[in-house]
Amino acid sequence: MSSSYQEFAHIYDELMNDIPYDAYIDLLDLASTGVVGKKVLDIGCGTGLLSAMLSKKGASVTGVDLSADMLEVASNRARSLGLDIEFIQQPMQQLEVEGTYDIAVISIDSLNYVISQTDVRETFRRIYKALGKDGVLLFDVHSIFKMDEIFLEGPFVFDDQRITYMWQTAPGDEEHSIYSQLAFFVRQENGLFKRFDEVHMQRTFSVTEYVGMLNDAGFQIERIFADWEDEPPTDESERVFFQVRK
């Protein structure tokens, strides 16, 4: 990601308005018979929206993210809400936490930012180690269809009068990867727009490959579904969810 991530962190929440975070809570409630009193690892927590929601529900939350700028926003959010959430700056493939957890979640395709298959394997291995017996991991990733076809239908343009962006996409160097260049224009108080740019790389793998990596880490597969529905993935599913247990 580009060095302008500090700017991106402060508009991230507005860009994520259409993400049904409540659905993640419902899915975690279902997978773990409720989150109240549970120790939860929110991996790739970003600005801490999901961390805060889990904490409000009565979970003991630790948020982990690579970006110091994202974590600054997350910490300010927790402080302003009077929530006791621990935040740790770490790449997920180097996850190292004290104690054991009941639940781990990687939401909003954050795992797709881990490009190397070796690093994805290591991420699963470290999460397995961090979970206690019967601990559950829930995560979602972009499908191959979305990565190889939908993302390449760009360029994409977004404009809500305050934030405008132009998103150019191209195939990445790795199989089923995408290279994105985004130019953001954010309206300032004086009515002028400030520009900053972002470069992102994401990669996904087949459902079969994810299953193999999860099994190698020791996980038991409980549920694989797609696009927020209790249905198995199809060739044109866009977001694939995995619920697995230690």
Same domain, 122 and 199: no
pLDDT-derived band of residue 184, with 50, 70 and 90 as boundaries? confident
pLDDT-wise least confident of 11-15, 121-125, 195-199, 235-239: 11-15
Per residue in 93-152, pLDDT (tens digit) is 999 999 999 999 999 999 999 999 999 999 999 999 999 999 999 999 999 999 999 999
What is the per-residue pLDDT for 15? 66
**Domains in the chain: how many in total?**
2
Domain that holds residue 169: 146-203
Same domain, 43 and 87: yes
Residue 44 sits in a domain whose CATH number is 3.40.50.150
What is the per-residue pLDDT for 189? 87
pLDDT-derived band of residue 4, with 50, 70 and 90 as boundaries? very low
CB 62 within 8 A of CB 54: no
Per residue in 160-182, pLDDT (tens digit) is 888 888 899 999 999 999 999 98
Eight-state DSSP code of residue 112: G
Same domain, 134 and 182: no
CA pair distance 136, 31, nearest whole angstrom: 7
Give every CB contact of residue 2 below 8 A, 6+ residues apart in sequence. 197, 198, 199
What is the per-residue pLDDT for 131? 98
Same domain, 54 and 77: yes
Supply angle C-alpha 170, 176, 177, rounded to 5.
45
What Rg value do the Cα atoms of the chain yield, rounded?
A: 18
Same domain, 99 and 216: yes
CA pair distance 191, 188, nearest whole angstrom: 5
Cα dist from 101 to 73, 80, 109, whole Å: 24, 25, 21
Same domain, 126 and 189: no
Q: Which residues of 6-20 are buried (b: 16+ CB within 10 A; e: fewer)?
A: ebbbebbeeeeeeee
pLDDT of 241 over the 80 cut: yes
Per residue in 37-54, pLDDT (tens digit) is 999 999 999 999 999 999
CB 102 within 8 A of CB 132: yes
Average pLDDT, the chain: 92
Count CB atoms within 10 A of the CB of residue 204: 25
Same domain, 57 and 133: yes
CB 48 within 8 A of CB 21: no
What is the per-residue pLDDT for 84? 97
Write down the H helix ranges in 1-102.
5-9, 12-15, 21-32, 49-56, 68-81
Helix (H) or strand (E) holding 91: none
What is the per-residue pLDDT for 165? 83
Same domain, 184 and 84: no
Same domain, 93 and 166: no
- pLDDT, mean of residues 177-196: 88
Taking phi first (over 0 means left), then psi (-120 to 50 degrees means alpha), and beta for anything else, what does residue 117 get? alpha
CA pair distance 200, 38, nearest whole angstrom: 33
Task: HSE, CB side, 13 Å, CA atoms: give it for residue 223.
Answer: 18
CB 234 within 8 A of CB 123: no
Same domain, 150 and 137: no
Residue 199 sits in a domain whose CATH number is 2.20.25.110
Same domain, 108 and 189: no
What is the per-residue pLDDT for 1? 39
Same domain, 170 and 222: no
pLDDT of 2 over the 60 cut: no
